């Protein structure tokens, strides 16, 4: 289940990869181990993939409804604003 704490851990890792090319490479190639180093464990039965957007490729994942904790405000955690910003950038409407 996705919790606000887990989302925050993921956001912390993602923020670090922009300052550390080596960490970004490791995250793209072995995300489970990198997330585990930052306190986010996944069951062995779960495969984790990380994909990087480019100027002509956008990756968005539609989570299962059961993955979103009841009462999680997506606007509060910045999900919708970051989605809109990314989408606008690809359409040439971003900064």
Model confidence pLDDT, tens digit, residues 73-95: 655 555 544 544 544 444 454 44
Angle CA 43–46–51, to nearest 5: 125
Q: In this structure, are residues 4 and 77 in contact, taking their beta carbons and an 8 Å threshold?
A: yes
Kindly list the domain boundaries of the chain, sorted by start residue: 4-90
Q: How far is CA 89 from CA 19, 41, 79, 93, in A?
A: 21, 32, 16, 5
Q: In this structure, are residues 95 and 67 in contact, taking their beta carbons and an 8 Å threshold?
A: no
Work out the mean pLDDT of the chain and round it to a whole number: 77
pTM here is: 0.63
């Amino acid at each position: 289940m996705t919790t606000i704490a887990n989302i925050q851990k993921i956001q912390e890792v993602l923020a670090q990869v922009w300052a550390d090319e080596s960490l970004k490479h490791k995250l793209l190639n072995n995300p489970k181990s990198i997330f585990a180093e930052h306190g986010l464990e996944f069951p062995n039965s779960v495969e984790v993939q990380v994909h990087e957007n480019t100027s002509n490729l956008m990756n968005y994942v539609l989570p299962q409804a059961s993955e979103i904790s009841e009462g999680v405000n997506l606007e509060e955690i910045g999900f919708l604003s970051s989605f809109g910003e990314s989408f606008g950038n690809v359409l040439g409407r971003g900064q």
